[in-house]
Chain A
Amino acid sequence: MLRFIVTRIGLLIPTFFGVTIAAFSFIRLLPGDPILLLVGERGIDEDRHAELMAEFGFDLPIWQQYLNYLGDILHGDLGRSIVTKQPVVEEFLTLFPATLELSICAMVFAVVLGLPAGVIAGVTRGSKFDHTVMAVSLTGYSMPIFWWALLLIVVFSGELGWTPVSGRISFLYYFEPVTGFMLIDSLLSGEKGAFASAVSHLILPSIALGTIPLAVIARQTRSAMLEVLGEDYVRTARAKGLPPLRVVGLHALRNALIPVITVIGLSVGVLLAGAILTETIFSWPGIGKWMVDSIFRRDYQSVQGGLLLIAIIVMTVNLIVDVLYGWINPRIRHTR
């Protein structure tokens, strides 16, 4: 097992360096003078320009610039935002809990609905329910989620007036963030109604973001279920006269869950990509919206830092999923 983990990490190292090169190249590939890009359109005199070139190290040979960049990364320094002057890492870490909270809620929504729907559809293959689940999940899979989010706003915020349109909590409540998770912080604050407000702000974004994972999970669970139900040990369990619920719940579901867990783990990239759209539409102050805003503000230092951090998160989660998968399913770790 240890060897398996070490090999996996070993495979990641070149990718990690590749990702740093990609992030490093980003600012340098932008057309135009790097300093002028950083200071914006105000312009700058010659002396200050040379000074800044030296300060940022743009006058060094390219390989030395890269080594410096790598060194900075290893010290946890990703530069400062041009707009807010805050360290990029700090900004990222303040905003990340918002994205994490939203992603977790979206995933809970997707799993709670998708898993049972997939199981029942698989067990009752060919039934009306099965066809409905398949049709709904294919629709969800094809959904432009930026439009879906707008529709949810039109119906639930506009027509019905049930939920707020944007933000994480009503401006009536203010408290110092403790964990960064609004659900927990609002409970800790002890203010009446704060938690309910936080929940109502979370509902629509979670549905919008969770829709595609929901569709994928339902489809994947159904096909995993179908595959497992055809296996010999399930037939044996049935032949022994075990009650159908026990066969499905205990024998089949447990094995069907293996590929499903992988799908859930690998949805992290999908969630982060979806968060860009969902957060922009719901003005959710997370890293997705921050990245889009940074691109529009030409805050390239933040874009570069965010790009790297997000890639590291995706790679780490994929590694964990991989290791977990190998741990659950010994066949995987011995064949490689």
Chain B
Amino acid sequence: MASTTDHSQAEAPTGVTAQQLKEFWHYFSENKGAVAGLAVVVLIIILAALADVIAPHSPIQQYRDHLLQPPFWQEGGSLAFPLGTDAVGRDLLSRLIYGSRYSLYVGCVVISISMTAGIAIGLVAGFFKGVLESLIMRIMDIILAFPSLLLALVLVALLGPGLTNAMIAVAVVVLPHFVRLTRAQVLSESNRDYVTSARVAGASRLRLMFITILPNCMAPLIVQASLTFSTAILDAAALSFLGLGAQPPTPEWGAMLAEAREFILRAWWVVTFPGLAILITVLSINLMGDGLRDALDPKLKRS
């Protein structure tokens, strides 16, 4: 992946200025899809934050008189339960709104773990060449030799089912991407003039790693983070769907789909809406990621 801006001068620009932000927004807003994606993501964040206020019902309250009630526009539906109810009479819309919390939570936790660990390990691999580097990269190869979802499944089997363990498993599975990317960035930046000049000026290794080089490697890492965010949501939902992630009655979207499976031919809404929620969330994050790449990596865009 190409580096972001031209740093061939001996000075390393650090810190983000208002000018840079303006420039970023200029490129980002050129991409209509990315702006739409961003809008939806912001909306989902608002829904998640204000779920207690917005949701018409409690996500786990069971209305025994309203089992599998269809959405309001179908016969038998009512506006009291706008998107209908599930098999034990819980309001689907409320569960979906609360479910957004879990998806965002999963994405944030996975990113925090895998990005922090991945950058640290990648920096070490890029700086300390030799045995340590080969060892790290081979371990990453081993992780990549397993299909991601399979490895996550097995890790959850090891750790025990549950949302927390599912997040840890997904974080491990996506880790190699951050390590490889960071190492490649470090290797390509290390030969730049500004790094040499910092080194000659007597900067310590830690300073070189974290203050001189790392900020200039961030753009592709941020793009990778946005892609990982959507992968994390998908994989965690898949684990919950298989019964190894979030456990009922948690209103997590994947777990909701798993519960809905037996009613698939009787009540289309219990199957359709949770999946649609996952799709919309993941799609808008991916759209946003595309825009981020265009804005942070102008060279890629123009090629």
Interface residues of A (CB under 8 A from B): 14-15, 18-19, 22, 26, 29-30, 138-139, 141-144, 146-148, 150-151, 153-154, 157-158, 227, 269-270, 272-274, 276-277, 280, 291-292, 295-296, 303, 307, 310-311, 314-315
Please give the distance in Å from B149's CB to the nearest CB on chain A: 4
A269 vs B290: C-alpha distance when bound (angstroms): 24
A14 vs B283: C-alpha distance when bound (angstroms): 38
- Which chain A residues border B146 with CB–CB below 8 Å? 19, 22, 269, 307, 310-311, 314
Q: Which of A26, A29, A276, A311 contacts B149 (CB 8 A)?
A: A276
The SS class assigned to the A binding surface is helix
Given A138-B283, A142-B282, A154-B264, are A315 and B230 neighbors across the interface (CB < 8 Å)? Answer: no
Is B230 within 8 A of A142, CB to CB? yes
Is A291 within 8 A of B279, CB to CB? no
Is A14 within 8 A of B153, CB to CB? no
Q: Mark B76-103, 1 if CB is under 8 A from A, else 0.
A: 0000000000000000000000000000
* B15-45 contacts to A (CB < 8 Å): 33
Is A144 within 8 A of B157, CB to CB? no
Is B275 within 8 A of A144, CB to CB? yes
Is B238 within 8 A of A277, CB to CB? yes
Please give the distance in Å from B235's CB to the nearest CB on chain A: 9
Closest B residue to A148 using CB positions: B275
* B251-303 contacts to A (CB < 8 Å): 254, 257, 261, 264-265, 268, 271-272, 274-276, 278-279, 282-283, 286-287, 290, 303
Is B154 within 8 A of A18, CB to CB? no
Q: Which of A29, A141, A303 contacts B286 (CB 8 A)?
A: A141
Closest A residue to B149 using CB positions: A273
Please give the distance in Å from B75's CB to the nearest CB on chain A: 17
Is B272 within 8 A of A272, CB to CB? no
Closest 8 CB pairs of A and B: A147-B275, A273-B147, A18-B142, A273-B149, A142-B283, A142-B282, A272-B147, A158-B265
Is B150 within 8 A of A154, CB to CB? no
Closest A residue to B274 using CB positions: A147
A48 vs B274: C-alpha distance when bound (angstroms): 49
* B122-136 contacts to A (CB < 8 Å): none
- Which chain A residues border B276 with CB–CB below 8 Å? 147
Is B158 within 8 A of A29, CB to CB? yes
Is A303 within 8 A of B157, CB to CB? yes
- Which chain A residues border B261 with CB–CB below 8 Å? 150
Please give the distance in Å from A115's CB to the nearest CB on chain B: 22
A199 vs B33: C-alpha distance when bound (angstroms): 38
- Which chain A residues border B153 with CB–CB below 8 Å? 276, 291-292, 295
Is A147 within 8 A of B147, CB to CB? no
- Which chain B residues border A158 with CB–CB below 8 Å? 264-265
Is A26 within 8 A of B142, CB to CB? no
Is A144 within 8 A of B279, CB to CB? yes
Is A307 within 8 A of B265, CB to CB? no
7 contacts between A and B (CB under 8 A): A18-B138, A18-B145, A158-B264, A272-B150, A274-B149, A295-B153, A303-B157
